């Protein structure tokens, strides 16, 4: 079992590395967010222990990068005993959290529980901010409210979520969602986007579906 520990405090990092190593896990330590990103992108881990306050790239940003790539369980370490932080971490896709300072026994119990949940599932569940899409159950919700979409709207949202942050051209969207070439009539895409926005974006904050002038659409936290 390989565990990545992303933690900038040398003392905590050494403590985790030593303890988990003695418990039989293979541990890789990253001392800042960018190193963490490198390890996440280059190697597969069974679990990631992620500190929130990190130089370079913070734990929130790294968690979003991790979730775009894989469903590896993430245990958040937060020094601040703030409910806000914990909610944010869980909303961004963390599986569990631990408040510093913690005992090693407590950490090990959490680690074992997360690893027992078995191999990470394929990405069937997408989440950006409070928008969630469950592929298997074909459910969409935002801010905890269930949203009913037509099949095409669902396919469109799935496409946007699965390629979060990428600008998708109208032609690409048309070919994916309608399996047709809409060279001459990409208006179909604009209409579908408008309907989707009315359901998943207009009544909520922040806006997630962005128009990129002359290029197409993208779904992301930032425009």
Q: Closest approach of Cβ 94 to Ca ion, in Å?
A: 15
| Residue 27 contacts residue 20 (beta carbons within 8 Å) | yes
Tell me: does residue 53 bind Ca ion (CB under 5 A). yes
Counting Cβ atoms within 10 Å, is residue 215 exposed (0-12), middle (13-18) or buried (19+)? Answer: exposed
Place of tokens 């039989």: 24
Whichever of 6 and 47 has its CB closer to Ca ion, that residue is: 6
Q: Closest approach of Cβ 56 to Ca ion, in Å?
A: 11
Using the rule CB under 5 A, give the single segment among 53-61, 94-102, 130-138, 168-176 that binds Ca ion: 53-61
Using the rule CB under 5 A, give the single segment among 2-10, 97-105, 156-164, 183-191 that binds Ca ion: 2-10
Under DSSP, is residue 49 helix (H, G, I), strand (E, B) or coil? strand
Q: How far is CA 107 from the centre of its chain?
A: 22
Phi/psi of residue 222, each to 5°?
Answer: -110, 150
Q: Closest approach of Cβ 59 to Ca ion, in Å?
A: 8
- Which structure tokens are listed for 50? 């992620």
Tell me: does residue 8 bind Ca ion (CB under 5 A). yes
Separation of alpha carbons 39 and 107, rounded Å: 22
Which residues have a Cβ under 8 Å from the Cβ of 159 and sit 6 or more positions away?
168, 173, 176, 177
Q: Closest approach of Cβ 8 to Ca ion, in Å?
A: 5
Tell me: does residue 35 bind Ca ion (CB under 5 A). no
Whichever of 33 and 216 has its CB closer to Ca ion, that residue is: 33
- Which structure tokens are listed for 136? 């298997």
Whichever of 8 and 46 has its CB closer to Ca ion, that residue is: 8
Tell me: does residue 51 bind Ca ion (CB under 5 A). yes
How many residues bind Ca ion, per CB under 5 A?
3
Whichever of 28 and 169 has its CB closer to Ca ion, that residue is: 28
Helix 187-200 crosses helix 170-177 at what angle (to 10 degrees)? 80
- Number of residue whose CB is nearest Ca ion: 53
Enumerate binding residues for Ca ion (CB under 5 A).
Answer: 8, 51, 53
């Amino acid at each position: 079992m390989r565990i990545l520990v992303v933690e900038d405090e040398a003392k905590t990092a050494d403590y985790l590395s030593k303890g988990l190593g003695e418990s039989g896990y293979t541990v890789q330590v990253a001392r800042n967010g960018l190193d963490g990103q490198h390890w996440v992108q280059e190697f597969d881990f069974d679990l990631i222990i992620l500190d929130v306050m990190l130089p370079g790239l913070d734990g929130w940003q790294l968690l979003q990068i991790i979730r775009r790539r894989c469903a590896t369980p993430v245990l958040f370490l937060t020094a601040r005993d703030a409910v806000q932080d914990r909610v944010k971490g869980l909303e961004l896709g963390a599986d569990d959290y631990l408040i510093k300072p913690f005992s090693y026994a407590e950490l090990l119990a959490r680690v074992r529980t997360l690893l027992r949940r078995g191999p990470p599932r394929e990405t069937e569940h997408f989440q950006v901010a409070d928008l969630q899409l469950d592929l298997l159950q074909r459910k969409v919700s935002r801010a905890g409210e269930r949203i009913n979409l037509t099949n095409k709207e669902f396919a469109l949202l799935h496409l946007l979520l699965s390629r979060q942050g990428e600008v998708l051209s109208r032609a690409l969207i048309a070919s994916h969602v309608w399996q047709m070439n809409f060279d001459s009539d990409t208006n179909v895409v604009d209409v579908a986007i408008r309907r989707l926005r009315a359901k998943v974006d207009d009544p909520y904050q922040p806006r997630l579906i962005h128009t990129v002038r002359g290029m197409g659409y993208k779904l992301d936290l930032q425009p």
